[in-house]
Every structure is written in C-alpha cells, then in structure tokens.
Amino acid sequence: MAIASIGILSPGEMGAAVGRSLARRGYSVIAALNGRSERTRTLAAQCGIGNVGSIDQLVRQCDVVLSILPPSAAAVAAQQVSAAMRATSARPLFVDCNSIAPQTARKAADSLAAAGARFVDAAFVGPPPGGTTLTRLYVSGPDARELRALETDHIEIRVMGEEPGLASALRICYSAFGEGLLAMAAELLVAAERFGIDEALRAEMLETRGTAYEWFMRLLPGIAPQAQRSVREMEEVALAFEAVGLTPKPFQGVAELYRWIADVQAAKPPSPARGQESGREFIKRLGQS
C-alpha cells in the first residue's frame, strides 16, 4: 500500500510531535478537531496538521490512522473509527499506538476487523519526536511491515512480528518498569520524610546506591503532570499481568499511588515562580499533602 495521507487521533503532545515529523517527511497529515480545545487546534496548526473536522472525513481522506491517545480513550476511539469506516466504506489501516494491555489491543483489533479494516498493534517508546533522542515505534500484526515507510529522522520503526499484542506487551512492561518504579520510589521517599529519617536515607542511598538515587530524583518531578494519565496506564499493566497468570495487585496499588499524586497536583501544584521543581521539592510537596 502506498501511503500519502496520515490521520492523527489526536494531536496532543505526542500526537502533534509525531504529526510534525511525518509532515516534514512529506506526508499529508490530518486530524479531526471538531469539539477539540483551542490549545489542541493551535498545536495541530503549529505542527503542520490539517483539520478535516470529523472522524468520518478523517477516515475518507487518509491511508493510515494513528491512534495516539490516553489509555482511557483508546477503546472509544477504535469504536468511533470502526463506525466511521462502516459509514464511509473507507478502510484505512488502523494503528493503535496507545499504552494498553495486549488483550485491550486485541479487542480493538476485533472491533476494526468487524468493520473490514486492517489493524496494527503499536507502541511508542521514548520522548515526543523532534529532539536529539530517537523515538521508537514498535509494531506487530500481519500488516506491520507496511509502517516502515513512516520512518523519519526522529522516528524508528521496529517490527516485532505478525501477532497483534506483541507491541502492546512491550509497552506495558516498559511502563511498569519506568512509571511503576518511579511511583514506588515516590511513596518510599515520602514515608522516609514522615518517619523523619529522610536525610539519613538520602546519605545512605548516595553512598551505596548513588546512581539509582540520582536517577529517581531527576525523573520524579516529571511524573506529576502525567499522573492522571498514568492511573489508567497502570490499571492496564495490572490487567496485562493478570492475563499471564501474575497477581494484578502491585500495579493496582501503583495506580492508586498515581491517583494520589494526581490529586496532590490538582490541589497543590508547584509554584511557577520557583522554576523547575527538584526531586526533593516534589517529595516534600507530596509529603505535606
């Protein structure tokens, strides 16, 4: 299949950056922005993403749909695109790039297959494309190899196999390692502060586990703005692990930690006047909640 036009659902931080990278590669990149915020519309325009209004029009005009959404919105998006395909008789390749459990991805694949569509399971790893770090898009499914055409200077495509769910499984395990460990580190550091031994623990960590401690402290402030999104992501991790015979309880607990962090972020955000929040400041803010 020759790919000329790519639809993005939806141009948030990651989606807009992906769209910009693809537009610079020469693709026509479009989005369905009816009902979207002014911020999203502005971001899309700045990234060279055209607005076609509705999902029906998006499906009519593109060869590939990239679904890049919060995990909580992934299933609804697949259903909307499936309905649009039935209404328009258009059948673009649907690529689910969301951080969801493999079984959730397979449900989306079934929904699209019922509409006669082809489905690729996909997962982004890395920052939004455009910086110095390469962003990887892992893909799996019978049609996954077609997406190699979408590689850019900032996006590398890695094909994992022909089975839908492989890319989602990788993303879920990667998220469990990163977001999971960071949330647990935040809780234990808040516990140390409330016990009154935070300085003693810090000294011991720097002496015996300095590299790990510094890694956590550098990355911890970044989890707060994305905490609400991470709640659903960790719930998907729990579902995925339970499906392969593991207990879901640890990551159900991590989801609760992110719910708490999101509540603190909403009720007591960091002061913009103080500049970038440090890891220690972030832990203190959590500890005082």
DSSP 223-276: GSTTHHHHHHHHHHHHHHHHHTT--SHHHHHHHHHHHHHHHHHHHSPPPGGG-S
5-162 and 170-287 share one fold:
no
Residue 153 predicted with pLDDT over 70 = yes
Grade residue 274 by pLDDT with cuts at 50, 70 and 90: low
* CATH superfamily entry for domain 170-287: N-(1-d-carboxylethyl)-l-norvaline Dehydrogenase; domain 2 (1.10.1040.10)
With H, G, I as helix, E, B as strand and everything else as coil, classify residue 31: strand
Q: Are 218 and 274 in contact (CB under 8 A)?
A: no
User: In the predicted model, what is the mean pLDDT of residues 117-133?
Assistant: 93
User: Can you give the residue ranges of every domain in the chain?
Assistant: 5-162, 170-287
pTM over 0.85: yes
Arithmetic mean of pLDDT over the chain? 94
- H or E segment and range at residue 181: helix 181-195
**pLDDT tens per residue across span 168-204:** 999 999 999 999 999 999 999 999 999 999 999 999 9
Q: Count of alpha carbons within 13 Å of 34, Cβ hemisphere only?
A: 7
**Angle in degrees, CA 35, 89, 166, rounded to 5:** 75
Grade residue 276 by pLDDT with cuts at 50, 70 and 90: confident
Q: Are 101 and 240 in contact (CB under 8 A)?
A: yes
Grade residue 273 by pLDDT with cuts at 50, 70 and 90: low
Query: Residue 2 has what pLDDT?
Result: 87
Query: Residue 33 has what pLDDT?
Result: 95
Grade residue 148 by pLDDT with cuts at 50, 70 and 90: very high
Residue 271 predicted with pLDDT over 80 = no
CATH entry 3.40.50.720 includes domain 5-162: yes
Residue 135 predicted with pLDDT over 90 = yes
User: In the predicted model, what is the mean pLDDT of residues 101-115?
Assistant: 91
The Cα 17–Cα 48 span in angstroms is: 10
The Cα 106–Cα 109 span in angstroms is: 5
**pLDDT tens per residue across span 15-68:** 999 999 999 999 999 999 998 899 999 999 999 999 999 999 999 999 999 999
Query: Residue 128 has what pLDDT?
Result: 94
The torsion angle over the Cα atoms of residues 178, 184, 187 and 191, rounded to 10 degrees, is -130
Q: Determine the longest span between alpha carbons in the chain, in angstroms.
A: 65
